[in-house]
Structure 1
Amino acid sequence: MSSRMAGSILLRHAGTRLFAAAAVSPAAAARPALLAGADGVPAVMVRLMSTSSSSPTAAAAATPQKAKEEAAKDGGDKKAVVINSYWGIEQTNKLMREDGTEWRWTCFRPWETYTADTSIDLTRHHEPKTMLDKIAYWTVKSLRFPTDVFFQRRYGCRAMMLETVAAVPGMVGGMLLHLRSLRRFEQSGGWIRALLEEAENERMHLMTFMEVAKPRWYERALVIAVQGVFFNAYFLGYLLSPKFAHRVVGYLEEEAIHSYTEYLKDLEAGKIDNVPAPAIAIDYWRLPANATLKDVVTVVRADEAHHRDVNHFASDIHCQGMQLKESPAPIGYH
């Protein structure tokens, strides 16, 4: 019997009952018995087999709704599966806060939280000297004008738009550095992690302001258009000149600091309600329970100042003829 035929038979026999583990309770899921199937098949192979099995039973059990219905029919001590992650995988080990309450966020974990350094210099500005720096500076200035016209002083929606764009450069830069590291078999000096951490931090800014400003349909459509154009433009720009790309981000962050400063002025003047801080922001930045929107804007502005310094520093390295891998990345946010 060929190995392909043997594998096919194994899939047919094992795949029909391997997904039965999807409907058991978290307590039962933790037992060693699930580490292997009835025929000694490893659990890793179980999950792979279930995705390729053509059995109707396996296909039915693969959906959360079917799993719940079958669990309800079985009765006994079995409980319906609770799907609480993007991929539909049950989380058996519950994370807890220090006070004993359950951790409710799946987009970040307790060990990824931090306290922002609000003492960072907000007035620092990189004076454009070279032609490339001047092009980067005026490119960012030209982008600010349509943003001012469209959003006026609606800083909540403005911040939402800003963060959907600001989260792109770190991901693009980290991705390209990652691929170069693989091609050249060389270290990255920690820059891949630093840039991806920047992208993740900007995304959390967006998750926070989504709780503050509810975007309208045309604002969501604008986000799709702007992000699509900016991603491709920045991708090409980074391929052509990482120095230019990082300088653009440095100036973008300077504009972000200015926007959040104006946001704070309106909050202090009472033009914008200083509502309680979103729960996600309190956990992410380790803010006090009675924190307000003003506190959130303050820590976000401090993050942007950090991104400004990191990207100007990265551009300076390329200006000196060095590669990012030759100079260690700055310390992260945490």
Structure 2
Amino acid sequence: MYDQSHKPDPDLTLHKPPADIHDRIALKTVKFMRVFADAFFAKRYGHRAVVLETVAAVPGMVGGLLQHLKALRHIRDDQGWIRELLEEADNERMHLMTFIKIAQPTLLERGLIMIGQAVFFNFYFFLYLFAPRTAHRVVAYLEEEAVVSYTQYLEQVDAGRQEDVPAPQIAIDYWHLPSDARLRDVIIAVRADEAGHRDANHRFADQLAAG
């Protein structure tokens, strides 16, 4: 269960300008990834969500694992990082489970899921291992792009170019949505999650930069 009823409305326009070379590398990496997503999926936002949420669920699990090992090595408290990162991973997994119900992935997209997850897991694991600050900044900028993508998805639904289908029961249960909730309600809930992950990963990166 994931209750958003007491969460403040997120800032959907927030963008953190790069402060140094590490941040610029993170931002350029994300912009590079965005080019391929836009070229392949175009306006097929439901299918884009299925593939990208598979990748999005990787960083929290990797970060949680490596923070767990670090806390054990240094015999110190993790200051809540492990739980927050694992909760992020699980939240992204629920996004995937939801959009699989909305946009049935094709065989090609299922293949992309397998390849994308394998490539991104290894890339992110070693990035986090050697440059955790940059890793968190990459995720934060990915989430900035996710907020933009879900806003565009919502605009398509509102304009009638995407059918506002009933929300899957898994989404209604997870976000405590009304029983008659529609796709529009799901997109708003998911977008708010992504904005929260954006802010959290910018915060993690800032804390690591501050030592």
Q: TM-score range by the shorter chain?
A: over 0.9
Deviation at 1:115, TM superposition (A): 2.2
Q: 1: distance between equivalents of 2:21 and 2:52?
A: 26
Q: TM-score, normalised by structure 2?
A: 0.97
Deviations 1:262-302 (A, max 9, x none): 00000000001001110010010000111100000001000
Q: 1: distance between equivalents of 2:142 and 2:185?
A: 22
Of the candidates 14, 24, 46, which is equivalent to residue 156 of structure 1? 46
Runs of 4+ in structure 1 off by over 2 angstroms are: 115-118
Q: Percent same amino acid among aligned pairs? A: 56
Of the candidates 68, 89, 111, which is equivalent to residue 178 of structure 1? 68
Deviations 1:231-258 (A, max 9, x none): 0000000011110000000000000000
Deviation at 1:179, TM superposition (A): 1.0
Of the candidates 23, 26, 31, which is equivalent to residue 136 of structure 1? 26
Deviation at 1:118, TM superposition (A): 6.2
Tell me the equivalent position of 1:244.
134
User: Where do 5+ consecutive residues of structure 1 fail to align?
Assistant: 1-111, 322-334
Deviations 1:99-120 (A, max 9, x none): xxxxxxxxxxxxx331263611
Tell me the equivalent position of 1:47.
none
Tell me the equivalent position of 1:124.
14
Tell me the equivalent position of 2:4.
115
Q: 1: distance between equivalents of 2:4 and 2:171?
A: 11
Matches within 5 A, 1:216-235: 216-235=106-125
Query: Is 1:273 paired with 2:163?
Result: yes
Matches within 5 A, 1:65-214: 112-115=1-4, 117=7, 119-214=9-104
Q: 2: distance between equivalents of 1:146 and 1:124?
A: 23
Would you tell me which structure has more helix in proportion to its own residues? 2
Q: 2: distance between equivalents of 1:113 and 1:121?
A: 20
Q: 2: distance between equivalents of 1:306 and 1:122?
A: 10
Tell me the equivalent position of 2:193.
303
Deviations 1:65-119 (A, max 9, x none): xxxxxxxxxxxxxxxxxxxxxxxxxxxxxxxxxxxxxxxxxxxxxxx33126361
Q: For the Cα contact (< 8 Å) 1:118–1:302, is it kept in 2? A: no
Tell me the equivalent position of 2:149.
259
SS in 1 for 2:88: helix
Relative distance call for 1:118 and 1:262 in structure 2 (3 A) is farther
Q: TM-score, normalised by structure 1?
A: 0.62
Q: For the Cα contact (< 8 Å) 1:118–1:299, is it kept in 2? A: no
Of the candidates 95, 105, 111, which is equivalent to residue 215 of structure 1? 105
SS in 2 for 1:153: coil
Q: Aligned-pair RMSD on alpha carbons?
A: 0.9
Amino acid at match of 2:164: N
